[in-house]
Amino acid sequence: MSTVLDQIEQQIAKLSTKAVKKNTGNIRTIADGVAKIDGLSDVMYNEMVAFPGGAIGIALNLEETEVGCVILGDVSKLKEGDEVTTTGKLLSVPVGKALLGRVVDALGNAVDGKGPIDAKETYPVERIAPGIMARKSVNQPLFTGIMAIDSMIPIGRGQRELIIGDRGTGKTTIAIDTIINQAKINKVGLASGDAKFRPVYSIYVAIGQKSSNIVRTVAALEAAGALEYTIIVAATAADNPANQYIAPYSGAAIGEWFMENGMDALIVYDDLSKHAVAYRQISLILKRPSGREAYPGDVFYLHSRLLERAARLDGKGSLTALPIIETLAGDVSAYIPTNVISITDGQIFLETDLFNQGIRPAVSVGLSVSRVGSSAQIKATKQVGGKLKGELAQFRELAAFAQFGSDLDAKTKAQLERGARIVELFKQPAFSPAAIELQVSILFAMQKGFFDPIDAKKVVAAAANMKNFFTTRKDALLTEIRNKAALDKDIEAKLQVACEEWKSGYTA
Amino acid sequence: MAAAAKQAQQLARQLFKLSVVDNVVSTDRVAGVLAYVEKHAPANAVFVLKTYHRLIAVELAKSEARVEHAGAVAPAALAAIAAAMTKKYSRPITTTARAHPALLAGLRVRVGDDVYESSVSGQLAALALSV
């Protein structure tokens, strides 16, 4: 008994007897996760403030007579007149490898029921993006595993590539495929013992999504063995707008830890349309002046300061960002899509029509672009896929012309046949990304005309058969392509022989 | 509607500035302001006066140290607090004392928005947060 009392007395003795100064205020009004507070005369912009019951808020509006705060967490127990105190700190989230394989909320608290996260460090949620001198040009590829993207719209480490399209066109699937592909590459690379290999860790930020969708995503990543390299930051549709507003910044802070510590990371923001809507809701309640589509004037800055944090740093790592934007009826000229298009280094545009025609991933080659271009491609991909985009553009033009039903010369017919086969070849099922060496082999076969005798409708099955042939029987050749990252005469000859071997054994 | 409210707020702020002399609310000036409002009856007079009242209340709170205490406080201690706060805030500050048994022991001094916590209940609350 006396030991217990001693412990308590020691603890009390440890407490400083010096008066502690706090700056306080009182809640004047509270609604929809936003509180207006009288007082808090010393509060700083973006400072964390403490509400009763452990809830945390962020001071966003500093006015002459009141302070507007967004509240993160449970607001149901807060009421008018409650005392609020400043903390003198900026909002921070736990960072580090301890978060890998976990699902966290916008504040970095575990929400997956796997117990607390033992993170050693925290990073501020809002950080100034790296400057020009600290950056390095983007020239290392980040393979998505999607043939249409890796061959025509390559993404580099440190790039910001927008995924844009209507609802239900496969935007999230592309992002998840990319995360799964990183995990596959990580496993192969780490198993190889190559000292130069740099794994890519992924962060998936779900903003305003249904909880059931997030559960499905987690299940897909787990099934593919990718969860161990992934951190999921979830701010569901049921969370208040403040949590949805802060979640992408929390994800960026988690990603920055990898970048600052010499590692590579990929972050997916799914999606920034809902993020803008959450911010609009907060801004309207804070009575900030509204502009186009009722968004506040700083909605561009909302996304630019977030996406500028993706970079490849000199002497350190990189953070690649894949923001997602949902369009309405394919309207890319709406306010938020045009903003994010102008911020990012390119976009992958997904078309509803293509999706409904069964072309999946429904990447619109004409409207998609990567401003980093071929500098983020390995030489082997450039060798086999360098002309693909042009060939497909020609095919679309000729296909439109051929619809008039006029007689076509042999060359035009051949171009149409080739184009139809390329379109079929790029069809890929969800959650099955292809390794880059496999992509190179398939594209080589296509370039050399091995798919020309096959009926266009059967090209998908033939390509699947060829992938199976290469992975099961030509593993050494695939490894050689992966290691050399270029096609020399020797490899080209081996590929030719392998393709002929496949052709002789394949019956459509 | 919003423009009228903004105008009323501006007027209240102007009247408030007129009421403060050397960081202290002047009783004479306040009486003058009230007489002015009564005589001229500006638009939204009730709103103007409510805003004015709030601003004056905030300003008065800055010149008063409200001392909450669990046990007895000697007048000398209150005088020392007043002197220390006057020096710290560079304005004349008076003290008012109020018994608050929930503090258990010690003092809590409130000057405007600032709270100086030196009570056992405050320390226990800090302890509860730290464990």
Q: Which of A277, B118, A467 is nearest to B126 (CA)?
A: B118
Instruction: Specify the DSSP class assigned to residue A434.
Output: P
- Return the number of other C-beta atoms located less than 10 Å from residue B62's C-beta: 18
User: Which pLDDT belongs to residue B89?
Assistant: 92
Is B55 near chain A, with CB under 8 Å?
A: yes
For the residues B26-40, what does the mean pLDDT come to? 92
Q: Are A20 and B55 an interchain contact pair (Cβ–Cβ within 8 Å)? A: no
Nearest CB to A41: which of B113, B126, B127? B113
Which amino acid would we find at residue B24? V
**Known catalytic residue at A396:** no
User: Which pLDDT belongs to residue A401?
Assistant: 81
- Return the number of other C-beta atoms located less than 10 Å from residue A60's C-beta: 19
Q: Which of B95, B114, B115, B117 is nearest to B106 (CA)?
A: B117
Q: Are A65 and B113 an interchain contact pair (Cβ–Cβ within 8 Å)? A: no
pLDDT tens-digit readout, B56-73 = 998 999 999 999 998 888
pLDDT tens-digit readout, A386-399 = 888 888 888 988 88
User: Which pLDDT belongs to residue A15?
Assistant: 59
Give the long-range contacts of residues A454-459, CB within 8 A, separation 24 or more: A454/A421, A454/A508, A455/A508, A456/A417, A456/A420, A456/A421, A456/A424, A457/A424, A458/A508, A459/A421, A459/A424, A459/A425
Shortest CA gap B111–chain A (Å): 10
Q: Which residue of A has its CA nearest to B58?
A: A39
Q: Are B115 and A24 an interchain contact pair (Cβ–Cβ within 8 Å)? A: yes
User: Which pLDDT belongs to residue A413?
Assistant: 87
User: Which pLDDT belongs to residue A212?
Assistant: 96
User: Which pLDDT belongs to residue B124?
Assistant: 85
Shortest CA gap A260–chain B (Å): 30
User: Which pLDDT belongs to residue A12?
Assistant: 65
Q: Which residue of B has its CA nearest to A13?
A: B123
User: Please, what is the angle between helix A489-505 and helix A436-447, to 10°?
Assistant: 80
User: Which pLDDT belongs to residue A14?
Assistant: 65
Per-residue pLDDT of chain A (508 residues; tens, 9 = 90+): 567 888 777 776 665 567 888 999 999 999 888 999 999 999 999 999 999 988 999 999 998 889 999 998 888 899 999 999 999 999 999 999 999 999 999 999 999 999 999 999 999 999 999 999 999 999 999 999 999 999 999 999 999 999 999 999 999 999 999 999 999 999 999 999 989 999 999 999 999 999 999 999 999 999 999 999 999 999 999 998 999 999 999 999 999 999 999 999 999 999 999 999 999 999 999 989 999 999 999 999 999 999 999 999 999 999 999 999 999 999 999 999 999 999 999 999 999 999 999 999 999 998 999 998 889 999 999 999 888 888 888 898 888 888 776 678 888 888 899 899 999 999 999 999 999 999 999 999 999 999 999 999 999 999 999 999 999 999 999 999 999 999 999 999 999 999 999 999 888 7
User: Which pLDDT belongs to residue A430?
Assistant: 93
Q: Are B115 and A23 an interchain contact pair (Cβ–Cβ within 8 Å)? A: yes
The string over B36-57, giving b where at least 16 C-beta atoms fall within 10 Å of a residue's C-beta and e elsewhere, is ebeeeeeebeebbbebbeebbe
Phi, psi of A23, deg, nearest 5: -105, 125
Question: Which residue of A16, A21, A28, A49 is the best one to mutate when testing the B interface, meaning the one whose CB has the most B CBs within 10 A?
Answer: A21
Q: Are strands A103-104 and A230-236 parallel, antiparallel or unpaired?
A: parallel
Q: Are A15 and B126 an interchain contact pair (Cβ–Cβ within 8 Å)? A: yes
Question: Which residue of A11, A22, A49 is the best one to mutate when testing the B interface, meaning the one whose CB has the most B CBs within 10 A?
Answer: A22
Nearest CB to B112: which of A41, A65, A85? A41
Q: What is the DSSP string of A195-244?
A: TT---EEEEEEEEEE-HHHHHHHHHHHHHTT-GGGEEEEEEETTS-HHHH
Q: Is A124 exposed, middle or buried (0-12, 13-18, 19+ CB in 10 A)?
A: middle
Shortest CA gap B95–chain A (Å): 17
How far is residue A147 CA from its own chain's centroid?
18
Is B1 near chain A, with CB under 8 Å?
A: no
User: Which pLDDT belongs to residue A17?
Assistant: 64
Is A26 near chain B, with CB under 8 Å?
A: no
Shortest CA gap A285–chain B (Å): 15
Nearest CB to A21: which of B116, B123, B127? B116
Is A23 near chain B, with CB under 8 Å?
A: yes
Q: Which residue of B has its CA nearest to A54?
A: B129
Q: Are B113 and A24 an interchain contact pair (Cβ–Cβ within 8 Å)? A: yes
What ipTM score was computed for the predicted complex, to two decimals? Answer: 0.83
3-state SS assignment for residue A481: helix
Q: Which residue of B has its CA nearest to A23?
A: B114
Q: Which of A325, A242, A264 is nearest to A31 (CA)?
A: A242
Can you tell me the distance from the alpha carbon of A325 to that of A335, in angstroms, rounded to the nearest whole number? 11
Name every chain B residue with its beta carbon within 8 A of the beta carbon of A18. Answer: 118
pTM: 0.90
User: Which pLDDT belongs to residue B1?
Assistant: 58
Q: Are B126 and A20 an interchain contact pair (Cβ–Cβ within 8 Å)? A: yes
The string over B99-125, giving b where at least 16 C-beta atoms fall within 10 Å of a residue's C-beta and e elsewhere, is eeeebeebbbbbbbbbbbbbbebbbee
Name every chain B residue with its beta carbon within 8 A of the beta carbon of A42. Answer: 113-114
Strands (DSSP E) along A41-82, which ranges? Answer: 47-50, 56-62, 66-72
Confirm if A38 and A25 have CB atoms less than 8 A apart.
yes
- Return the number of other C-beta atoms located less than 10 Å from residue B81's C-beta: 20
Indicate whether B40 pLDDT > 70.
yes
Asked, as a colleague might, if the bond just before A271 is cis with ω within 30 of 0, I would say yes
Sole residue written with tokens 């890998």 = A100
Nearest CB to B113: which of A12, A25, A65? A25
Q: Which residue of B has its CA nearest to A287?
A: B2
Residues paired with B68 in a beta bridge: B98, B108
Name every chain A residue with its beta carbon within 8 A of the beta carbon of B118. Answer: 17-20
- Return the number of other C-beta atoms located less than 10 Å from residue A366's C-beta: 13
The residue count for chain B: 131
Higher-confidence position of A164 and B8: A164
3-state SS assignment for residue A67: strand
- The Cα-based distances of B9 to A54, A212, B4 in angstroms read 34, 48, 9
Can you tell me the distance from the alpha carbon of A158 to that of A135, in angstroms, rounded to the nearest whole number? 9
Q: Is B2 exposed, middle or buried (0-12, 13-18, 19+ CB in 10 A)?
A: exposed
Q: Are B55 and A65 an interchain contact pair (Cβ–Cβ within 8 Å)? A: yes
Using CB atoms and an 8 Å cut-off, which of residues 64-103 of chain A contact chain B?
Answer: 64-65, 85
The string over A18-31, giving b where at least 16 C-beta atoms fall within 10 Å of a residue's C-beta and e elsewhere, is ebeebbbbebbebe
Nearest CB to B117: which of A11, A19, A41? A19
Residues A371, A396, A421, A473: which is the catalytic one? A371
- CB half-sphere exposure, A114, CA atoms < 13 A: 11
Name every chain B residue with its beta carbon within 8 A of the beta carbon of A38. Answer: 54, 58
Using CB atoms and an 8 Å cut-off, which of residues 28-57 of chain A contact chain B?
Answer: 38-42
- Model confidence at B19, in pLDDT bands (50, 70, 90)? very high
Sole residue written with tokens 């945390």 = A56
Name every chain A residue with its beta carbon within 8 A of the beta carbon of B54. Answer: 38, 65
Which amino acid would we find at residue A198? R
All residues at 6 or more sequence positions from A366 whose CB lies less than 8 Å from its CB, including other chains: A393, A396
